[in-house]
Amino acid sequence: MIEEKWMKELNRYFEDLRIIEKCQQEARDHFAQFCEFIVEPAFETLEQALEPKGIKVRYDQRRKSSIHIQINFPDSKVDNFHYTIVLPPNSLELKLLLRTAGRKNKKSPLQERERPFMPEVRPEDVLKLGKEDIIIDIIQKLKEFNYAARTSPD
């Protein structure tokens, strides 16, 4: 009888591990869908809108755990602004991070910031976002960075 108890506990442990692995795989799959059907079209639309203004945009997906856009302003040979959505390692849900980085000018170091990605959006609602939501968030973060850079006393 005692043997049955520990055997049940051992089986429960392996079942819990299986559930964790399943949830992690689902989070990775959902992130891939989010990138392909929402974020990449948003990046493409933003790129098309910025091109006539001479603003160069590059974007890529990195290791299936992040997607990144870089915005370079006219006559600048250095990167100016980065916006990266990150799926943290071992995530069980789409509780994403946002990394932004930028340079105040050509010679200044890249200033980075990490925060929750759209904290007002619940993880289960991330796939319900539209490309416009992503574009608006990028513009807000870009404005926030540029306004702070242009009004900073240093």
**Digit-coded pLDDT (tens) for 124-149:** 999 999 999 999 999 999 988 888 87
Q: What is the pTM of this model?
A: 0.88
Query: d(Cα 71, Cα 86) in Å, to the nearest integer?
Result: 18
User: Rounded to the nearest 5°, which phi and psi values hold at 84?
Assistant: -130, 125
Q: CA dist 55 to 10, 58, 76, 77, Å? A: 58, 10, 9, 11
| 74: confidence class by pLDDT, cuts 50, 70, 90 | confident
